[in-house]
Amino acid sequence: MPTTPPAVRQVPSERTFHGDTVTDEFAWLAEKENPDTIAYLEAENAWTKRATAHLEGVQNTIFEEIKRRTQETDLSVPQRKGGYWYYTRTVEGKQYGIQCRVAAAPDDVTPPSTGDGAPLPGEEVLLDGNELAEGKKFFALGTFDITPDGTRLAYSVDFDGDERFTLKVKDLRTGETLADEVPGTFYGSAWSADGSTLFYITVDDAWRPHRVWRHTVGQPAADDVVVYEEADERFWVGVELTRSEKFIVIDANSKITSEVRVIAADHPTAEPAVIRERVQGVEYSVEHHGHRFLILHNENAEDFAVASTSVDNPGEWVELIPHTPGTRLESVDAFQRHVVISLRRDGLTGLRVMADGSTGTYDMEFPEPLYSVGLAGNPEYDTNIVRISYTSMVTPDSVYDVDLITRAMVLRKRKPVLGDFDPDAYEQHREWALADDGTKVPISIVARKGTPRNGTAPLLLYGYGSYEISMDPYFSIARLSLLDRGMVYAIAHVRGGGEMGRRWYENGKMLAKKNTFTDFVACARALVASSWTSADRIVARGGSAGGLLMGAIANLAPDAFAGIVAQVPFVDPLTSILDPSLPLTVTEWEEWGNPLENADVYTYMKSYSPYENVTKQAYPRILAVTSLNDTRVLYHEPAKWIARLRATAPEGSYLLKTEMGAGHGGPSGRYDSWKEEAFVTAWILDTVGLA
């Protein structure tokens, strides 16, 4: 085992943009096929293993705690679709879920259950992830799509973690996997009404989903037809079948603009019809509802509004739900007699119900001060009962069926937490931090009751803050291992996310991106000021774009944190966004700006890019975790970052752990994921002296 961190050679590489020349001494680490690169990553893994060897016992203990609290043999609440109840089972000792169904009686609205996770009587196994993953280091399921008549299944698999899937078709009447096979596909698919035709998506060289294809079952993939190709590199495409099963929807989206096409599901060879031509800056999505299409849009509606247009002759948008500033409408789901709108207001999610033919609405009500709620699946169109998911920082994931007419809510299942778990032993709070510009930033907090409020408790502060993605309050079994050891857990709802509406997002992107970072630091300092913790007891954690946040605050306010966990971190954004050949770069220009063409954007990004701003200062302890096959944030970003930290500020403690056979989400099996979480948790506990 190594006794010192690995040495990494420096090979200065210069680049010049807008008259600015910078040197990147570790650029060669981007050469994935270079044996020296792999050797370096493996040496870093060996050093990380050596440096955390003293935590092996703690890691094993935490893994066993997660495992012991989890009901390993379990069954999701079956969901009705046509003549079947569909569900997923997990089995003790097996890494992956098993997709199943059982026949349903015609008028049965109560999902079947065995109560103990055992197979339901008459079970038909549709797909067993454990069998598919046999002998593979990685396994991920992409699409899982059953024909309207329930006779065929389209599914896709990835064995590398690079999110390029092989699409297959299974005949559910015979159990036979058909000869139909298409490599190199992306997420998303849609069946025609009769199940004879399958629509799917492929990506270009930059990993941008850009083509929608039509495949006829039983015909060679070579005969497949491109139905739509998106030429604008800012846009990506998606495809789905409406809940009504009447239309195939093809949507093209950039970060700020949308365009939607539809094809009648019973005429799959028809040309796609455009609902409305794209207008720069206008986003919209389409949901079919009887004689009309429902349009969720932001035309003159910053937080979005809902309109309708005729199915037979899409044109004018007629207002249905007007724009209300501060109430962000996020999605619209149509059922035969109702419409359900998912929204957020005052930093919390919500569900609003509208009966068909009415403009009156009501909002579902929930008792806790902090929670997250949303629709869960709901494949049936002709129903008065919808399935919702509900959780909070103290309430495990819960599934309810809601009668949209009577408003009655029936709890179908609450995720079991085994052992001596008592939700009343924990408490959740909402605090507010004051940002540098006077903005109030919400913080969600959970702690075990009795945790001292005198500044002595250690605290883990999580953040993301990009793409209008919200980090809503949620329950975690793994988190209990922190809380029960006296640690406080907090989420900083910083700008750049969507927690407080569209403006919250706009004020944390492009040339306002630094608000994300200063908000997070303000949250850390507010938690100290309110005696939740002290600066030398805070560990920050974030992943992907949240990893950019971690790298930025490491440079900006190293004194505010004892440690930082950066997972698949986007810590070299300037280099990546300057290279349009890299995956996703061009589509990202409307999120970060285009530093290739705009000198102001270049200067601004360079001023906050973690890799560009490493200096000789005292950094907190840093743990970076990445994956070799990640196509979203390439492995070399954290590899270069850790190398530069060691070269520039060698007195610090920096660890790099690379999953050599995984992608953006890390290890794929649930036990492997628990082991990874146990590793990170042990490092966090060690950083604050609790290991």
My answer on whether 183 and 122 are in the same domain is no
Percent of the chain at pLDDT > 70 equals: 100
Report pTM: 0.96
- Is residue 14 in a domain? no
- pLDDT over threshold 90, residue 144: yes
Token look-up 């007699």 returns 337
- pLDDT over threshold 90, residue 604: yes
Choice among 466, 664, 668, 686 that is catalytic:
664
- pLDDT over threshold 80, residue 189: yes
My answer on whether 492 and 618 are in the same domain is yes
| Helix runs in 301-404, H state only | none
pLDDT tens digits along 309-320: 999 999 999 999
**Dist. CA 14–CA 645, nearest whole Å:** 19
Region for residue 47 given its phi and psi (left: phi exceeds 0; alpha: psi -120 to 50; beta: otherwise) = alpha
- Is residue 40 in a domain? no
My answer on whether 441 and 498 are in the same domain is yes
- pLDDT over threshold 80, residue 478: yes
My answer on whether 80 and 126 are in the same domain is yes
Tokens of 293: 């299409």
DSSP E strand boundaries for 8-164: 13-17, 20-24, 74-75, 79-81, 84-90, 98-103, 124-128, 140-146, 152-158
Domain boundary among 134, 157, 176: 134
Q: Please report, for the domain that includes residue 667, its CATH number.
A: 3.40.50.1820
Q: Please report, for the domain that includes residue 247, its CATH number.
A: 2.130.10.120
Domain boundary among 134, 151, 170: 134
562 pairs with which residues across the strands? none
My answer on whether 80 and 167 are in the same domain is no
**Higher pLDDT residue, 135 or 664?**
135
pLDDT at position 176 is: 96
pLDDT at position 155 is: 98
Q: Are strands 654-659 and 621-627 parallel, antiparallel or unpaired?
A: parallel
My answer on whether 140 and 87 are in the same domain is no
Place 463 in a pLDDT band, splitting at 50, 70 and 90. very high
Average pLDDT, the chain: 96
My answer on whether 536 and 661 are in the same domain is yes
How far CA 113 is from CA of 77, 110, 158, 545, in Å, comes to 8, 9, 31, 40
Please indicate whether residue 196 is annotated as part of the active site: no
- pLDDT over threshold 90, residue 617: yes
The amino acid at 621: R
pLDDT tens digits along 201-224: 999 998 999 999 999 999 999 999
Q: Mean pLDDT across the stretch 656-680?
A: 92
My answer on whether 90 and 201 are in the same domain is no
Region for residue 545 given its phi and psi (left: phi exceeds 0; alpha: psi -120 to 50; beta: otherwise) = alpha
pLDDT at position 356 is: 82
- pLDDT over threshold 90, residue 119: yes
Q: Mean pLDDT across the stretch 636-646?
A: 98
pLDDT at position 665 is: 83
My answer on whether 666 and 631 are in the same domain is yes
Nearest to 181 by CA among 193, 191, 167: 167
- Is residue 342 in a domain? no
DSSP state of 495: B
Please indicate whether residue 630 is annotated as part of the active site: yes
User: In what order do the strands lie in the sheet containing 538-543?
Assistant: 426-434, 440-448, 488-492, 459-463, 538-543, 563-567, 621-627, 654-659
Residues 6+ apart with CB under 8 A from 158: 138, 139, 140, 141, 142, 164, 165, 166, 663
**Rounded to 5 degrees, what angle do the CA atoms 236, 237, 241 make?**
160
- Is residue 404 in a domain? no
Instruction: Determine which of 25-34, 575-584, 636-645 has the lowest per-residue pLDDT on average.
Output: 575-584
Domain with 187, as residue range(s), is: 136-282
pLDDT at position 582 is: 85
Choice among 303, 572, 630, 686 that is catalytic:
630
Task: Count the residues in the chain.
Answer: 691
Please indicate whether residue 291 is annotated as part of the active site: no
pLDDT tens digits along 538-548: 999 999 999 99
Instruction: Determine which of 1-10, 154-163, 314-323 has the lowest per-residue pLDDT on average.
Output: 1-10
The amino acid at 581: S
Number of domains the chain contains: 3
My answer on whether 491 and 610 are in the same domain is yes
- Is residue 159 in a domain? yes
Q: Mean pLDDT across the stretch 420-439?
A: 97
Burial (CB < 10 A; 0-12, 13-18, 19+), residue 414, is middle
- pLDDT over threshold 80, residue 395: yes
- Is residue 46 in a domain? no
- Is residue 366 in a domain? no
My answer on whether 174 and 111 are in the same domain is no
Domain boundary among 82, 102, 134: 134
Burial (CB < 10 A; 0-12, 13-18, 19+), residue 102, is middle
Tokens of 400: 């309810």
pLDDT at position 217 is: 97
- Is residue 255 in a domain? yes
My answer on whether 120 and 151 are in the same domain is no
- pLDDT over threshold 80, residue 357: no
pLDDT at position 664 is: 84
**Dist. CA 340–CA 347, nearest whole Å:** 19
Choice among 156, 544, 609, 627 that is catalytic:
544
